[in-house]
Structure formats: C-alpha cells, structure tokens
Structure 1
Amino acid sequence: MRLDKFIAHCTGASRSEVKRWIRAKCVTVAGITTTDPRHYIAPPDEVTLNGSPLAYPHARYYMLHKPEGVVCSNEDGEHPTALDCLTGIHREGLQIAGRLDKDTTGLVLITDDGQWNHTITAPRAAKNKVYCVSLAKPISAQCMAQFAEGILLKGESKPTRPANVAPITDTKVRVTLHEGRYHQVKRMFAACGNHVTALHRESVAGIVLDAALAPGQFRPLTQAEINLSKSTSTDE
C-alpha cells in the first residue's frame, strides 16, 4: 500500500494533508524518515506519525439499505451515490460489491477488501441474489416455467441460468438469481411479456438486509455475515 494512502486511511486526513506531513519529515517507516508519499509499505513495517505508531487498518464491510434515486457509483454529478450514504466514514478505498439501478432499492454491500468483493461478484461464484419484485400484470405459470428453464435475453448469446420465482401475491413475487447480468430481473420479465414496477433486493450471498435499517441507513457486517458470504453457493 502507498504510504500516503495508508496514513489517510488510518487518520481520516485528506491525501493532500498527509503529503504535507510526509514532506515535513513527520513520518518514519521502519525507523527511517521518508519524504516520498509513494513509498510502498507492508507489514511488518512500522509507520509512525510525529513519533506515534499507526496501526494497519482492518478491512471494512458494510451493508446499506439503498434508497430509490441513489446510484451505485463512487461519484456522480447529478445524483447522490451509495458512498454518500456512509456518513462519518472515511470512504477512500471503498468498493461497491454488486450494484443496483438508480430506481432499485435494497441491499448493497460495500467493502475495501478487494478479494472479498471478487468472492461476492465474480460470475463463477454464482452467489444467490434474492429480489422482491412488483409486476404490472399477474405472474403466469408460463413465465415461472421460463425463469426455471433460463431465458435467452435480447442481444445475448447464452440463456440466463435457471432462476426461482416464488409468488407472494398475483403481482408480487420473490425471485432468486444465481448471476448478475445488466438489468437482469427487468429484462427477464420483459421477455415474458410483463413489466417490473418496483424492485427491491433482499439478500446477496446469504447476507440478508437488516430489517432495522431504514432506507439510507447502513451498518457494519457481523463476522458471521462476512463468513457466510464466503461459503454460500447456488445450492442454498
């Protein structure tokens, strides 16, 4: 990790402020003063700031209840972002593990652990994603059968993986996918001649959105949730 990034992560200071500290000879690495913000560090190198040692940060994992109108990107000139919801959190290095459309609500996972992000989102992992879907028309038995078989979406060469549809009411269903294609739920229902009017993600990789979180709220994942996401499979 770059020295300036490490210190910013530990202190919450801006990178420009950290660079001033480094160039002012306030920082040592393994007992040696350095003035290069790009200096690469890794454990067990000890880093001190004004004589006080800095601890290597632990990876961070959060769940967010994404509201409608929020985009899943690090920056956006027009709309609030998922990272904007993480008030009071140092955001540098954070990544969104599995994105949602602007008008889709529900569970979004955010982390600075790139390997864990890959575990969640890699197509090969085939992690379960569960959605509550409101439809313009009642669900048909034929549509449910198409989901179970897989659907060849417009512009694609391979059909979707089989997906499970469990009716809640005539026009509300719970859908479980094992992949994450672009606008997949909406496109699958469109291929069946129906239209999604509201979409809410309830869980990803076995991690269930906390019912206590209001839209826009977040909390750290528990260790059990972090571990669960590493072991869940398409068979669950």
Structure 2
Amino acid sequence: MRLDKYLCESSDLTRSQARSVLLSGEVTVNGEIIKRGTHVVQDGDEVQWEGETLSLVGLRYLMLNKPAGHECGNRNSQYPPVIDLLDVDKRDRLQTVGRLDVDTTGLILITDDGHWMHRIISPRKRCDKVYLVTLAEPLPENAEVRFQAGIKLEDEEQRGLPAALLRVDERSVRLTIQEGKDFHVKRMFESLGSQVLFLHCERIGPLSLDSDLQAGESRYLTPAEVADLARID
C-alpha cells in the first residue's frame, strides 16, 4: 500500500494532509524519515507519525442493541444515526447490515465489509430474522396458517415468503421472516387488522442478541460468528 494511502487509512488525515505531513518530515518508516507518498509500505513495516505508531483499522464486524429513536440510514434524517452510538475509529466507514425502523429496537449488525454484508442481506440467502412483536389487538385464530401461506400486502401483486408465527401470549408473538422490506413486519400484521405497538429484533441467522447487551451498547463479533453468518444459505 502507498504510504500516503496508509496514513489516510490509519488516521484521520485527508489525502492532502497526508502529503503535507510527509513533506514536513513528520513520518517515519522503520525509523527512517520518508517524504514520498508513493513509498510502498510492506507487511511488518513500522509507520510512525509524530512518534506514534500507526496501524490499519481492518475490517470490522459488530452487533449493536439498537435503541428506539435512532435511524439506520444516513445523517440527513431528523433522527440520530445508530453509527453514532459506536465508540470506534473511522466509524463513518461502517454500515448497518439491513435496517430497522426508527422505533424498532434490538439486534442490528454493523460492518465495513461490503461483501460479507451482501451475503447476509441477499434475497437468495433467505436469512431468518426473528422478532418479538407486541400487538394492540389479539390476532385471529388462523393467523399462523395465514403467515405460513405468505401474507399479501396492500398494493402488492404477490404473496410474501412464508413466515413462522409463535404466540407468546394473547398480544405478543415471535415472528420469523426472511424478507426485509420497509415497514414489512408492521404491514404484515396490519393486513390481519392488528397494529404493532412494539417490535424488537432478537436474532439474525444463527446469531442472537446478547442478553446482557444494554440498549445502545455494542460488541465486536467473534471470528466464529462472522464465519457462521457468512455461511447462511
């Protein structure tokens, strides 16, 4: 990797700022002052800027317990982005793997590995997503059968994919789906005449939200968890 790019990848320097500190003689590679941005950094090289050793951030994979009132999209929303809840370097490079509505809580995955992300959200992968749903009204007796057959939403020509519904109590259910359209879960229940009061994502594929992870808290995934999610099929 070129030295100027290495500086940008491992610090908050812009490309022009990287050129400036190089020309000022503030950067060393293995103890030698290097002023050329085209210098190639090899594996094992020690790069220092103003005496501080720099290292590349690398690819990152996190789970976050999303609180209500945060947006999974960009910063143009009236709501704060979930990315701002993370205390990590270069967080502007991170993206949520899919989205949860502003008022939906629970498990959201975050990464800067686009290939890994698309393996999870690709419609062909049919990744299970499990939600705990609290409803305003009890469901009809045949709700399980209707979800299993696929719900036909208003303004859509075809039924959705089959979904599994498990009743927890009179107004709470656990729903497993493999689709992720905007407001999809809420629209499914509205088609049965029931309003969703509370929606919480518990699991994505084989990964469940840590029970001790408080709202707004996050942690890095283990290598095994990253690999398991990549193998979804």
Does the 8 Å contact 1:72/1:99 carry over to 2?
Answer: yes
Cα–Cα, structure 1 residues 156 and 165, in superposed 2: closer, same or farther, change >3 Å?
Answer: same
Residue identity over aligned pairs, in percent, reads 38
Matched residues, number: 228
TM-score normalised by L of structure 2: 0.84
**Counterpart mapping for 1:221-236 below 5 A:** 221-233=221-233
Residues 153-199 of structure 1, C-alpha deviations (whole Å, 9 max, x = no match): 12223321000001100100000011211211001111111110110
Q: CA deviation at 1:202?
A: 0.5
In structure 2, distance between residues paired with 1:62 and 1:74: 18
SS of aligned partner of 1:165? strand
The CA distance in 2 between the partners of 1:183 and 1:134, in whole Å, is 15
Greater mean alpha carbon deviation, residues 87-96 or residues 14-23: 14-23
User: What is the root-mean-square deviation of aligned Cα atoms in Å?
Assistant: 2.9
Gaps (5+ residues) in structure 2? none
Q: 3-state DSSP class of the match of 1:101?
A: coil
Residue matched to 1:34: 36
Give the C-alpha shift of residue 98 in structure 1. 1.3
C-alpha displacement at 1:55, in angstroms? 4.2
Measure the CA separation in 2 of the matches of 1:28 and 1:88: 25
Residue matched to 1:152:
152
Aligned ranges 1:104-123 → 2 under 5 Å: 104-123=104-123
- 71-80 vs 131-140, greater mean Cα deviation: 71-80
The AA in structure 2 aligned to 1:168 is V
Aligned-partner Cα distance in 2 for 1:72–1:24: 40
Query: How many angstroms apart in 1 are the aligned matches of 2:41 and 2:195?
Result: 51
1:139 aligned partner, one-letter code: L
TM-score, structure 1 length as denominator? Answer: 0.83
Tell me whether 91-100 or 75-84 shows the greater mean CA deviation.
75-84
Q: Which structure has the larger Rg over C-alpha atoms?
A: 2
3-state SS, counterpart of residue 189 of structure 2: helix
Task: Tell me if structure 1 keeps the 8 A contact 2:74–2:81.
Answer: yes
Distance 1:231 1:42, change over 3 A: farther
> What is the one-letter code of the residue matched to 1:176?
T
Q: Following TM superposition, by how much is the alpha carbon of 1:140 offset from its aligned partner in structure 2, in angstroms?
A: 2.1
Change (3 A) 1:4 1:161: farther
Say if 2:65 and 2:105, in contact at 8 Å, map to a contact too.
yes
Q: How do 1:1-236 and structure 2 match up within 5 A?
A: 6-11=6-11, 13-15=12-14, 17-18=17-18, 20-22=20-22, 24=24, 33-35=35-37, 48-50=47-49, 54-76=54-76, 78-233=78-233
